[in-house]
Amino acid sequence: MKPDPLADHIRTVPDYPKKGILFRDITPLLGNAQALTEACRRMAEPFQTSPPLFVAGIEARGFILGGIVAQILGAGFIPVRKPGKLPAKSVSREYALEYGSGTLELHQDCVKKGQRVLLVDDLIATGGSAEAAVLLLRSLGAVVESGSFLVDLPDLGGRQRLEKIGLKVHCLLEYPGE
């Protein structure tokens, strides 16, 4: 199998944010216009025949990729934020991370019942943040059937976790053994 040229733009940083973690840094990809354009085009591609009304991106790198994917698909964008950053009434959900815990929030009025949303983020590790985002969106009535991600770390089980809640997962790159 031929290596994916996008992988040349992903930097591995050992022991970040803590010892034993191999952090997949996408900032080199973000800094390369051609690689960024290609990645977002490929992340959007499976959804172009039946685009969602919204793309939801998880703070922070999911904002960058999700905003571009939304533009490609002609969809609106929903920011999935960290706590305390939304000015209007919001809903929140706590989740476990590979190296701690976190909380995500959405505005209560960001989506109406039955509206289709595509979830976008840079990476799936344990799947905790993506699962929390999906469950938050669904709690507001959104139909969230699919997620598009740049990187999957399959040995951490995130894809399986998301598939268990009925999310179809599309990933461009995999880094087994992480």
Cβ contact 143:114 at 8 Å:
yes
User: Tell me: the pLDDT tens digits for 39-69?
Assistant: 999 999 999 999 999 999 999 999 999 999 9
Active site residues: 61, 98
Task: Indicate whether this model's pTM tops 0.85.
Answer: yes
User: Is pLDDT at 1 greater than 70 in this prediction?
Assistant: no
- What is the distance between the alpha carbons of residues 39 and 135, in angstroms, rounded to a whole number? 26
- What is the distance between the alpha carbons of residues 101 and 111, in angstroms, rounded to a whole number? 26
Question: Using 50, 70 and 90 to split pLDDT, how confident is the model at 113?
Answer: very high
- What is the distance between the alpha carbons of residues 66 and 46, in angstroms, rounded to a whole number? 14
- What is the distance between the alpha carbons of residues 86 and 163, in angstroms, rounded to a whole number? 29
- What is the distance between the alpha carbons of residues 122 and 49, in angstroms, rounded to a whole number? 22
User: Tell me: the pLDDT tens digits for 78-112?
Assistant: 999 999 999 999 999 999 876 678 999 999 999 99
Which one-letter DSSP state was computed for residue 31? T
| Structure token digits, residue 111 | 């989506």
User: Tell me: the pLDDT tens digits for 136-170?
Assistant: 999 999 999 999 999 999 999 999 999 999 999 99
CATH of domain 36-174: 3.40.50.2020
Query: Distance from first CA to last CA of the chain, Å, rounded?
Result: 20
Average pLDDT, the chain: 94
